[in-house]
Structure 1
Amino acid sequence: MKDNEHLDARRPIISIEEIKSILSDFKIGKKPLAKLLGWGETTIIRYIEGDIPTIEYSDKLRAIYDNPYYYYDILLKNQENLTNVAFKKSKKAVIEKLMNSKIHIITQYIINQMKEEVTMGEIQTLLYYMQGFSLAFNNEPLFEDEYYVTANNIPYLNLYESLKLRGINYLEIEEDLLSDNDKVLINSVLNGFSWYGMKLLNSMTSYERSLLRISRDKENHKIIAKETIKIFFKDIIMNYNISSLNEIFRYSDEKFHEFRKREAISI
């Protein structure tokens, strides 16, 4: 069907190249994708050969193209439409695409470990402490993303926008995406900080941010450089007598009592 009476020129129809990209990115064939979506077996083949999709079908394909999490949700819900081999192959591919940077892998690990009982704000704060203690103990960052200084205290803005799009949901990830050393550090921070609510965590990070020197990146955005965070956290482990990752809890525990005393005095 070269001409489509339902075609609305005001709405962009997904291109052949974009459809091919879906097939390539998610390691799924033309017929399996059509089956997964509950369409006729030759639907995707016809689109690749030049037929123009209806707006409804185009919108669905574009949603998949724009949002891998949307595809992953469809894949899980309709997996009975695929062979076991095709399902596993595509699932592996989409997870690899979703976990396209280490900060995303760590975030998913946090979500899984906390059984989805974590907010986007808590994730941002936990990542900051994980980065800080990694720099202090290992002299290297846990992930490459910069800490941006923003009015609403969202340092890892790209991640935040991604979570807004996909939500906080369990997602199975491969065990070897993180090293054993990474997991020890991450779990130590979770054990030390996840007990406390956002009130304490906000108080701690607001206080710490006031002590940290703000610099600029190449695009002139305000950041707190990794070297600045490293120096600050090395002082923390020295001042709070933290000699190993298993003792990270000492800092959060002492800060909890410190802020409780401040509140009691102010009352």
Structure 2
Amino acid sequence: MIEHVVDDVRFHLHEKHDFRWIKKFGKVFAVYPDKNDGYLCFGINRNGVKRYIKYAGAKTALYFGKPEDAVEQLEKAKLRYEFLKHPSLVKLTHHEDVGPGYMLEYEWIEGENLWRYPFEKLELQERLQMLETIFTFHEKVEQKSFIAIGFNNASMIYDETNKRLKIINIDHYEKNEHINKMENVLPSSPFVSPEELTLNTKLNTRTNVYRMGAIAFSVLGKDQNLAGSPMHKVAKRAMSKDSTERFESVQDFHQIWKKAVEVSLAVQGY
């Protein structure tokens, strides 16, 4: 591994790489090198304004594919951020061919990544509002005929102070009826539907529904008061192993979910 230093921030790559290109975008204050998708991410400050840069073209520590494949994936990701533009999605502010690679620049989102977030510390109403944001965004994703491949807790940042959730990663979303070609999906992930673990299967809106159910269980956490509630039952149906037993679409799921929330809250006395 080769150590690199950019603006006094140290990180390691498989080989030496030229990062002089980043100087024009601002001063680097953070580097996120341990990603397995071939991207190297930077926090930068330009004249007091923070931005987040995602770069492909270097051999990152946990990526063993070809840098040019990561570049191609990031170029496709740019189109997704433009096509699925939404108030709940992080804003793409710039893109450019740089050095031997390609970069996307986003607005900087203050808050905490939700990968291992202790949701139980939040009030139930706050958690339900988070889910409302997620489901509303994915209704648009569905309307645009996309499948939320790769979406999980790590795809979001939550600002507790302003009670604002932002979706930050849609890089691997694919068009509806996408044929699964991935061989490296982690079967231990609770967000991965059964059909995503089988090569050459068709992914569709019911795959999105599975992810919405998984996210609902994750955000609601281990709240014993909700065990067996209508919300619990709706989320469980969304995660049926047999996709034909799930809701047909995120829109259908969302409509039933809102009714289940009303009944659950009434029963619990909220």
TM-score by length of 1: 0.33
Which structure has the highest strand share of the two?
2
The structure whose Rg is larger is: 1
Which structure has the highest helix share of the two?
1
TM-score by length of 2: 0.32
Asked which structure has the greater RCO (Cα within 8 Å, sep 6+), the reply is: 1
